[in-house]
């Protein structure tokens, strides 16, 4: 069994005070058991000030995670904040690792770092929590697919980093006080771990009346839709003009039914749009499998918040919940800025049972199984979504 707790600090400039405050919260909230690890999310300023490194060096357990524009735990939601989600157990073992640079290859560095982290363990972990880097020429699916090759049958949950810049230039992954632009950190959970997952996207009622087939694609690059040039397709239905998406449609999510995948479970994944190339190829923020069915959904701030309420409400109906880790897409925060930049975080803080420790932070891409059937997870990379790991 895993026990959890969430702690936080706003103290950026005085690392010692930040650490002492976190230490005091931990002592009040949880007794550390035989095996412990912490998932850390922080505003990038905690890296620049040295606070993250000091906290990591003085904690009695390793910290693994990502930068984030804003986060929440049970007690607090904020922007210039650092949060830690503590997992501790007598019968679940936590092994951590970090890869080398992933710019040219993922499988090689991942296999090497996984081999070091898993040394001494028999069999595959029951859960992998991963934090890949935000490398612009990689779709997040590349990381999910690499893990599925190394540990097939293991549920994979995780997030890409984010920050509060338009270009995500300060986004980094974190491993035990160090920070990386091109490396992936991770936690492997061995033993009696029984994770459950929830994925919140948008209501089916929001689907727009455009259903098409991707007839030629390569990873995130869609060349043809319904056998027509991708740009021409979107131009013909009024979504694109002058070489780009019409501004009104920049935040239109795309639902992808990956019908030709061997592990397709009937649950669509949501994709965000990136740009067009000069030849009219549409670039998306995740793999767009050839032969898949593509639909579009309208999305309003109210839609974002209603799906959050609905998914968080499901947690209280579950039994044996020790904690919840939640990663919402940074676009959800962008969508709700005019209401309140902390609206979604505060909804969760107010709705979730006070006895269920949680941490929630905005990320640059979400990784979570859409389902686990007969022990086999359908690991997926998502956009626009809220993914939840329930322990």
pLDDT tens digits for 267-310? 999 998 888 999 999 999 999 999 999 998 888 888 889 999 99
Q: Please tell me the predicted confidence (pLDDT) of residue 191.
A: 96
Biggest alpha carbon distance in the chain? 62
Supply the range of the domain harboring residue 35. Answer: 2-200+303-390
Interatomic CA distance for residues 140 and 184, integer angstroms: 12
- Check if the beta carbon of residue 350 is closer than 8 Å to that of residue 336: no
List, in sequence order, every residue forming a beta bridge with 189; answer none if it has no partner. 94, 127
Is the domain of 242 the same as that of 219?
Answer: yes
Is the domain of 15 the same as that of 100?
Answer: yes
Interatomic CA distance for residues 106 and 282, integer angstroms: 24
Is the domain of 352 the same as that of 381?
Answer: yes
Is the domain of 284 the same as that of 386?
Answer: no
Q: CA 39 from chain center: how many Å? A: 13
E strands, 235-284, in order: 240-241, 244-245, 254-257, 269-271, 273-276, 282-284
* Final residue of a structural domain among 297, 331, 358: 297
The rounded radius of gyration (Å) of the Cα atoms in the chain is: 20
Nearest partner of 161 among 128, 184, 188, judged by Cα: 184
Nearest partner of 321 among 201, 198, 199, judged by Cα: 198
Quick: pLDDT tens for 229-253: 999 999 998 889 988 888 777 678 8
Interatomic CA distance for residues 317 and 198, integer angstroms: 13
The number of domains in the chain is 2
Q: Please tell me the predicted confidence (pLDDT) of residue 296.
A: 87
Is the domain of 354 the same as that of 368?
Answer: yes
* Final residue of a structural domain among 297, 321, 341: 297
Is the domain of 279 the same as that of 308?
Answer: no
Is the domain of 277 the same as that of 324?
Answer: no
pLDDT at 313 over 90: yes
Q: Please tell me the predicted confidence (pLDDT) of residue 354.
A: 87
Is the domain of 47 the same as that of 111?
Answer: yes
Quick: pLDDT tens for 24-79: 999 999 999 999 999 999 999 999 999 999 999 999 999 999 999 999 999 999 99
Is the domain of 21 the same as that of 167?
Answer: yes
Q: Please tell me the predicted confidence (pLDDT) of residue 338.
A: 82
Q: Please tell me the predicted confidence (pLDDT) of residue 376.
A: 86
Q: Please tell me the predicted confidence (pLDDT) of residue 201.
A: 84
Q: Please tell me the predicted confidence (pLDDT) of residue 245.
A: 83
Q: Please tell me the predicted confidence (pLDDT) of residue 232.
A: 95
* Final residue of a structural domain among 275, 297, 319: 297
Look up residue 349 and give its two tokens: 């803080």
Is the domain of 40 the same as that of 143?
Answer: yes
Average pLDDT, the chain: 93
First to last CA, the chain: 9
Is the domain of 193 the same as that of 215?
Answer: no
Nearest partner of 139 among 217, 42, 249, judged by Cα: 217
The one-character DSSP state at 101 is: -
Is the domain of 18 the same as that of 84?
Answer: yes
Nearest partner of 131 among 181, 200, 81, 192, judged by Cα: 181
Q: Please tell me the predicted confidence (pLDDT) of residue 367.
A: 98
């Amino acid at each position: 069994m895993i026990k959890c707790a969430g702690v936080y600090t706003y103290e950026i400039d005085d690392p010692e005070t930040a650490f002492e405050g976190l230490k005091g919260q931990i002592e009040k909230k949880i007794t550390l058991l035989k095996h412990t690890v912490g998932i850390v999310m922080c505003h990038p300023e905690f890296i620049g000030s040295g606070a993250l490194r000091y906290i990591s060096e003085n904690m009695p357990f390793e910290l693994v995670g990502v930068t984030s524009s804003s986060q929440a735990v049970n007690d607090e939601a904020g922007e210039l904040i650092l949060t830690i989600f503590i997992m501790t157990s007598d019968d679940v073992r936590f092994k951590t690792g970090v890869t080398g640079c992933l710019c040219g290859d993922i499988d090689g560095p991942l296999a090497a770092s996984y081999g070091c982290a898993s040394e001494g363990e028999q069999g595959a972990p029951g859960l992998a929590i991963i934090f890949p880097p935000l490398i612009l020429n990689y779709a997040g699916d590349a990381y999910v697919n690499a893990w599925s090759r190394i540990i097939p049958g293991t549920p994979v949950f995780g997030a890409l980093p984010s920050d509060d810049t338009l270009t995500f230039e300060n986004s980094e992954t974190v491993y035990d006080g160090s920070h990386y632009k091109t490396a992936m950190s991770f936690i492997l959970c061995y033993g009696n771990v029984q994770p459950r997952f929830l994925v919140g996207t948008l209501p089916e009622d929001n689907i727009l009346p455009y259903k098409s087939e991707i007839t030629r694609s390569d990873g995130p690059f869609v060349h043809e839709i319904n056998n027509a040039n991708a740009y021409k397709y979107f131009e013909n239905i009024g979504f694109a003009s002058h070489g780009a998406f019409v501004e009104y449609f920049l935040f239109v999510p795309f639902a992808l039914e990956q019908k030709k995948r061997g592990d397709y479970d009937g649950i669509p994944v949501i994709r965000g749009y990136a740009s067009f190339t000069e030849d009219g190829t549409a670039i998306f923020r995740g793999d767009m499998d050839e032969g898949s069915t593509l639909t579009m959904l309208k999305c309003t701030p109210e839609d974002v918040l209603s799906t959050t309420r609905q998914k968080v409400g499901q947690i209280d109906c579950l039994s044996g919940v020790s904690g919840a880790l939640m990663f919402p897409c940074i676009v959800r925060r962008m969508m709700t800025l005019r209401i309140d930049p902390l609206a979604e975080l505060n909804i969760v803080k107010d709705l979730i049972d006070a006895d269920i420790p949680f941490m929630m932070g905005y990320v640059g891409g979400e990784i979570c199984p859409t389902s686990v059937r007969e022990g086999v997870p359908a690991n997926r990379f998502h956009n626009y979504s809220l993914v939840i790991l329930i322990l």
